[in-house]
Chain A
Amino acid sequence: DQQVKQNSPSLSVQEGRISILNCDYTNSMFDYFLWYKKYPAEGPTFLISISSIKDKNEDGRFTVFLNKSAKHLSLHIVPSQPGDSAVYFCAATGGTSYGKLTFGQGTILTVHP
């Protein structure tokens, strides 16, 4: 049972444009969501998070939006840079899963110069 889903395996964007990565979840008990970035042969790096009491959180070029009614979150990167090319994972925790993060399958972002 895939409780966190990233339905787009890959996304290609031109440098300077916006990248939008999407994530859906099914467990209504999830109340905290995170995005991680992973380069090949490295561990995931924490990017940004959002609590279910908010619908938006910004950190520099990264903004995460949460739509609780749709059980959907998205990560916006503006402007996109070639160094952003990596695999992006969304993760969720909460309820009986508190303390443990459940990850999506990841989306490969490629930013072209």
Chain B
Amino acid sequence: EAGVTQSPTHLIKTRGQQATLRCSPISGHTSVYWYQQALGLGLQFLLWYDEGEERNRGNFPPRFSGRQFPNYSSELNVNALELEDSALYLCASRFKSSGNTIYFGEGSWLTVV
């Protein structure tokens, strides 16, 4: 069974540009989560989507946004990139009826220069 897949693996953008990161959940999982891990920091919760709806968002500015598609894949958009947005962006998915465990992808490294 394929795990959570994320693309691209690495992305380099210039300050002020926009970045789009993509995530495909484990087959059958309807919830998708996005977390940010900046250098030396823990995992900060960004967004949670479930069945196409945004269920919760973390303490991030509105330029961090996303969506979930009918096939449950998801996209994270970061507008007006700032240098401090450089981080590992992790996507995770969960099968709602099987508990609280979420399963992570390998992450997308975003570097803002």
Contact = CB atoms under 8 A, between A and B. Distances in A.
Nearest to B94: A99
A89 to B, nearest CB: 6
B107 A43 contact: yes
Nearest to A94: B100
User: Which of B31, B45, B50 has the most chain A CB atoms inside 10 A of its CB?
Assistant: B45
Interface in B68-109: 90, 92, 94, 99-107
Interface in A35-91: 36, 41-46, 49, 89, 91
A45 B33 contact: no
A99 B98 CA distance: 11
Nearest to B102: A101
B56 A34 contact: no
B43 A32 contact: no
Contacts of B101: 34, 46, 49
A105 interface: yes
B43 A99 contact: no
A86 B95 CA distance: 26
A32 B100 contact: yes
A34 B42 contact: no
B50 A43 contact: no
Nearest to B44: A103
Nearest to B57: A100
Contact of B55 (A34, A36, A42, A99): A99
A105 B42 contact: yes
A83 B105 CA distance: 20
A103 B106 contact: no
A93 interface: yes
A93 B42 contact: no
Interface string B32-55: 010100000111110010100001
Interface of A: 32, 34, 36, 41-46, 49, 89, 91, 93, 99-106
Interface of B: 4, 31, 33, 35, 41-45, 48, 50, 55-56, 90, 92, 94, 99-107
7 contacts: A43-B105, A44-B43, A45-B104, A99-B50, A102-B45, A105-B41, A106-B42
